[in-house]
Amino acid sequence: MGGGRWLPDLEGRVRGSKIWSDIVTAITSKLVLHNFYLENSAIILENGRRAQFWRDKWAGELCLKDEFPRLFSLSTVKDGVVADFYTSSGMIQDWLFEFRRPLLAWEEEEVNKLHTLLRSAPAVRVISLDIWMWRADSSGMYSAASGYRRCESLLGPDREVAREVWNNCAPPKVKFFGWLAWLGKVKTSSYLQRIGILDEAANVSCVFCQNEVESVNHILLFCPFVWLLWSQIMKWWGVQWVMPNSVEGLLQWWSFCKMKKLEKVMWKVVPLAVLWSIWKHRNDCIFNGAQPNLEDLCEVVKSAEGQWFGGCSYVRVLGQSPVCFCSFVHLLCYSSARVQWTVDCLLLGRLHGKGKWCNGVVPAVFGDNCKNDTSEMECCSVVC
């Protein structure tokens, strides 16, 4: 920052460390962050030995360099602090300026305007130090949280997508894969060929349809085989939709769907379960010689979601009083029209070693067949 100033030097006049150089590069590439800092920075003038006279906003909301550009260009002390220009005689305070040439008549008028403005400026107090204050935080001190909130506000729709991708009950590796798919960074065959991992003669066709080059959007969305899977899932949920133009569009649409609170917990993890299962099935076909099987893939999706959903913390997610797994499933099924989907997922993703059904009672929604196999269909009898 150089010279004890509060703002980094964006003009290259002061040579800073490598860390500051990287920070300045980030600021100059996205000036909205720099403007955010300026708008929320305030200087409380005390002894005037740190606040810069021309460059800092110490006289209210005015930057004297911008208000009096001609005088600033003529000044011989452009980087001087307030104390360099201040003089006092008893109770009277005055301001002294040095210019590199005699002023013209209209420039003298500018000096008079500057003196008039400075009469209403904060008085210089010799006994105290200048104070910098951050307006975006109630403490007056800069916090990473306030900067993070600002960056989040600049994301727009991407903020909701990021929240849906990372804030759900899927395993971390699945969330990470969903994030890669959202950014279009999944290592498909066409991508590996483009960066030289696969040679030009390698087959980069879709393993499912063999008709198109394997791209992120094709293998996870547009392939006819994959599209049948998405259609089946939408049918189970009773949702009508139009095919998005990309995985990014899919996740944006998914994140803005309105549902009840209980349904939303399961709904958030559905696209990640589908994307992850598609990619695992694709790898199984390539490396293990498996054949594409839509029925098996549907069961894998249900099983995965049931396992993740059954193992998440319902109390933390929903903010409710502690409930057992059985009661929660019972409530979810009867508050939703997607009973069959919920039941299939939870039964296929049954959790072992977590205790038995509450008081030996199986919710009626699971049917008579489930009551005959309560030893394997277990739920968490403690707070999950």
Residue 341: predicted pLDDT: 52
- Per-residue pLDDT, averaged over 20-24, amounts to 75
| Residue 127: other Cβ atoms inside 10 A | 6
Q: State which of 108-122, 156-170, 206-220, 250-264 shows the largest mean pLDDT.
A: 206-220
- Per-residue pLDDT, averaged over 78-91, amounts to 81
53 and 74 in a single domain? The answer is yes
Q: Is residue 372 part of a domain?
A: no
Higher pLDDT, 320 or 267: 267
218 and 268 in a single domain? The answer is yes
25 and 123 in a single domain? The answer is yes
| Residue 276: other Cβ atoms inside 10 A | 25
52 and 172 in a single domain? The answer is no
Q: Is residue 26 part of a domain?
A: yes
Q: Which residues pair with 205 in a beta bridge?
A: 213
Q: Please say which residue of 152, 167, 191 terminates a domain.
A: 152
Q: pLDDT band for 228, please (50, 70, 90 cuts).
A: very high
- Per-residue pLDDT, averaged over 36-40, amounts to 80
- Asked if pLDDT for residue 69 goes beyond 70, the answer is yes
116 and 218 in a single domain? The answer is no
Q: Is residue 120 part of a domain?
A: yes
Residue 302: predicted pLDDT: 83
Residue 282: predicted pLDDT: 95
117 and 222 in a single domain? The answer is no
Tokens matching residue 383: 């707070």
Q: Please say which residue of 277, 312, 345 terminates a domain.
A: 277
d(CA 47, CA 127): 7
Q: Which residues pair with 132 in a beta bridge?
A: 43
Q: Is residue 213 part of a domain?
A: yes
126 and 188 in a single domain? The answer is no
Q: Is residue 95 part of a domain?
A: yes
Q: pLDDT band for 91, please (50, 70, 90 cuts).
A: low
Total structural domains within the chain: 2
205 and 130 in a single domain? The answer is no
Higher pLDDT, 251 or 31: 251
Higher pLDDT, 380 or 17: 17
- Asked if pLDDT for residue 197 goes beyond 60, the answer is yes
Residue 214: predicted pLDDT: 94
106 and 198 in a single domain? The answer is no
Q: Is residue 319 part of a domain?
A: no
129 and 160 in a single domain? The answer is no
Residue 382: predicted pLDDT: 29
25 and 142 in a single domain? The answer is yes
d(CA 302, CA 281): 14
Q: Please say which residue of 277, 300, 330 terminates a domain.
A: 277
Q: Is residue 381 part of a domain?
A: no
- Asked if pLDDT for residue 77 goes beyond 50, the answer is yes
| Residue 44: other Cβ atoms inside 10 A | 14
Q: Is residue 339 part of a domain?
A: no
141 and 186 in a single domain? The answer is no
Average pLDDT, the chain: 76
Q: Which residue in this structure is represented by tokens 């030097």?
A: 9
Lowest pLDDT segment from 161-170, 212-221, 290-299:
161-170
Task: Please write the tens of the pLDDT for every residue from 266-318.
Answer: 788 889 999 999 999 999 999 999 999 999 998 888 888 877 876 664 434 44
- Per-residue pLDDT, averaged over 211-236, amounts to 92
Residue 16: predicted pLDDT: 63
Lowest pLDDT segment from 52-56, 157-161, 248-252, 351-355:
351-355
Burial 75-113 (b: 16+ CB within 10 A, else e): beeebbbbbebbeeeeeeeeeebeeeeeeeeeeeebbee
CA distances from 21 to 9, 17, 28, 35 (A): 9, 6, 11, 18
Residues of the domain holding 240: 156-277
CB 251 within 8 A of CB 272: no
